[in-house]
Structure 1
Amino acid sequence: MDFSLSPDIQDLQQRTRRFIADVVIPFENDPRQTGHGPNESLRAELVAAGRAAGLLTPHASVEHGGLGLSHVAKAAVFEASGYSPLGPVAMNIHAPDEGNIHLMEVVASPSQKERWLRPLVEGRTRSCFAMTEPAPGAGSDPSMLQTVAIQDGDDYLISGTKWFITGAEGASFAIIMARMEDGSATMFLCDMDRPGIVLERLMESLDSCFAGGHGVLRFENVRVPATDVLGEIGKGFRYAQIRLAPARLTHCMRWLGQAQRAHDVALAYASERQAFGKSLGEHEGVGFMLADNEMDLHSARLTILHTAWVLDQGGRGNIESSMTKVICSEAIWRVVDRCVQILGGRGVTAETIVMRIFKDVRAFRIYDGPSEVHRWSIANKIVGARKKMLDAERP
Structure 2
Amino acid sequence: MEYHDSEKAKEVAGRVEDFMEEVVLPREREALATGEQITMDEIHDFWDQAKERNLFAPQVSEEYGGQGLDFQDMLPSFEQVGRSLIGALAIRANAPQEGNMHTFEMVGTEAQKEEYLRPLVQGEIQTAFAMTEPKQGGGSDPKMLQSTAVKDGDEWVINGHKWWTSDGLNADYYLAMVRTDLDAHPYSGTSIILVPSEADGVEVVRNVPHLGGHGITERKGGHAEVKFDNVRVPVENTLGEENEGFQIAQMRLGGGRLTHCMRYSGMAERSLDVAKAYLAEREAFGTTLEEKQALRHRIADAETRLHAARCMVRHAARELDRSDARIEVAMAKMFTANVTNETIDLALQCCGGNGIGKDLPIAHFYENVRAFRIVDGADEVHRRSIARWAFEDIDETEVENALQFDEDLRIDALDE
Band the TM-score falls in, shorter-chain normalisation: over 0.9
On the 8 A contact 2:8/2:73 being kept in 1, the answer is no
> Where does residue 163 of structure 1 map in the other structure?
163
The answer on 1:143 being equivalent to 2:148 is: no
**Residues 268 and 353 (structure 1), Cα distance of their counterparts in 2 relative to 1, 3 Å cut:** same
* CA–CA distance in structure 2, aligned partners of residues 347 and 287 of structure 1: 18
Moved more, 45-54 or 230-239: 45-54
The answer on 1:203 being equivalent to 2:208 is: yes
The structure 2 residue matched to 1:298, chosen from 302, 307, 311, is: 307
**Residues 19 and 211 (structure 1), Cα distance of their counterparts in 2 relative to 1, 3 Å cut:** farther
On the 8 A contact 1:32/1:39 being kept in 2, the answer is no
1:173 Cα shift?
1.3
> Where does residue 393 of structure 2 map in the other structure?
385
* CA–CA distance in structure 2, aligned partners of residues 220 and 26 of structure 1: 46
**Residues 387 and 103 (structure 1), Cα distance of their counterparts in 2 relative to 1, 3 Å cut:** farther
The answer on 1:190 being equivalent to 2:199 is: no
The answer on 1:174 being equivalent to 2:174 is: yes
On the 8 A contact 1:89/1:211 being kept in 2, the answer is no
TM-score, normalization by structure 1: 0.92
> Where does residue 11 of structure 1 map in the other structure?
11
1:30 Cα shift?
6.6
Render the CA deviation track for 1:119-171: whole Å, top value 9, x for unaligned: 11223222110000000100011111111101111000111110011111112
1:8 Cα shift?
3.0
1:41 Cα shift?
4.7
- CA RMSD of the aligned region, Å? 2.4
The structure 2 residue matched to 1:243, chosen from 247, 252, 255, is: 252
* CA–CA distance in structure 1, aligned partners of residues 210 and 39 of structure 2: 16
1:26 Cα shift?
2.6
Instruction: Name structure 1 gaps, 5 residues minimum.
Output: 391-395
> Where does residue 23 of structure 1 map in the other structure?
23
**Residues 121 and 204 (structure 1), Cα distance of their counterparts in 2 relative to 1, 3 Å cut:** same
**Residues 32 and 40 (structure 1), Cα distance of their counterparts in 2 relative to 1, 3 Å cut:** farther
**Residues 65 and 271 (structure 1), Cα distance of their counterparts in 2 relative to 1, 3 Å cut:** same
Aligned AA (2:379): S
> Where does residue 376 of structure 1 map in the other structure?
384
* CA–CA distance in structure 2, aligned partners of residues 320 and 87 of structure 1: 27
> Where does residue 359 of structure 1 map in the other structure?
367
TM-score, normalization by structure 2: 0.88
Matches within 5 A, 1:53-132: 53-132=53-132
* CA–CA distance in structure 1, aligned partners of residues 114 and 200 of structure 2: 23
On the 8 A contact 1:132/1:164 being kept in 2, the answer is yes
On the 8 A contact 1:38/1:212 being kept in 2, the answer is no
* CA–CA distance in structure 1, aligned partners of residues 84 and 302 of structure 2: 18
Render the CA deviation track for 1:151-207: whole Å, top value 9, x for unaligned: 111000111110011111112211100112334111101222222111111111122
* CA–CA distance in structure 2, aligned partners of residues 39 and 177 of structure 1: 32
On the 8 A contact 1:3/1:72 being kept in 2, the answer is no
Moved more, 264-273 or 97-106: 97-106
1:250 Cα shift?
0.6
On the 8 A contact 2:55/2:67 being kept in 1, the answer is no
The structure 2 residue matched to 1:274, chosen from 272, 276, 283, is: 283
> Where does residue 328 of structure 2 map in the other structure?
320
* CA–CA distance in structure 2, aligned partners of residues 263 and 38 of structure 1: 25
**How many residue pairs align between the two structures?**
387
> Where does residue 393 of structure 1 map in the other structure?
none
* CA–CA distance in structure 1, aligned partners of residues 29 and 196 of structure 2: 33
* CA–CA distance in structure 2, aligned partners of residues 185 and 38 of structure 1: 39
> Where does residue 260 of structure 1 map in the other structure?
269
Aligned AA (1:149): A
* CA–CA distance in structure 1, aligned partners of residues 396 and 64 of structure 2: 43
1:70 Cα shift?
2.4
Render the CA deviation track for 1:13-64: whole Å, top value 9, x for unaligned: 111001111111133257699x9x9774554344334334321111112322
On the 8 A contact 1:39/1:212 being kept in 2, the answer is no
* CA–CA distance in structure 1, aligned partners of residues 383 and 195 of structure 2: 34
1:345 Cα shift?
0.8
* CA–CA distance in structure 1, aligned partners of residues 337 and 325 of structure 2: 17
* CA–CA distance in structure 1, aligned partners of residues 324 and 305 of structure 2: 26
On the 8 A contact 1:56/1:122 being kept in 2, the answer is no
* CA–CA distance in structure 2, aligned partners of residues 80 and 239 of structure 1: 28
* CA–CA distance in structure 2, aligned partners of residues 388 and 173 of structure 1: 52
SS in 1 for 2:392: helix
SS in 2 for 1:224: strand
1:389 Cα shift?
10
* CA–CA distance in structure 1, aligned partners of residues 110 and 346 of structure 2: 48
**Residues 343 and 195 (structure 1), Cα distance of their counterparts in 2 relative to 1, 3 Å cut:** same
On the 8 A contact 1:200/1:218 being kept in 2, the answer is yes
1:388 Cα shift?
10
* CA–CA distance in structure 2, aligned partners of residues 124 and 270 of structure 1: 44
* CA–CA distance in structure 2, aligned partners of residues 389 and 189 of structure 1: 52
**Residues 384 and 115 (structure 1), Cα distance of their counterparts in 2 relative to 1, 3 Å cut:** same
* CA–CA distance in structure 1, aligned partners of residues 171 and 395 of structure 2: 46
On the 8 A contact 1:132/1:163 being kept in 2, the answer is yes
Aligned AA (2:131): M
Q: Which has the larger radius of gyration?
A: 2
SS in 1 for 2:368: helix
> Where does residue 310 of structure 1 map in the other structure?
319
* CA–CA distance in structure 2, aligned partners of residues 99 and 227 of structure 1: 21
Render the CA deviation track for 1:62-84: whole Å, top value 9, x for unaligned: 32222222222122110011110
**Residues 82 and 186 (structure 1), Cα distance of their counterparts in 2 relative to 1, 3 Å cut:** same
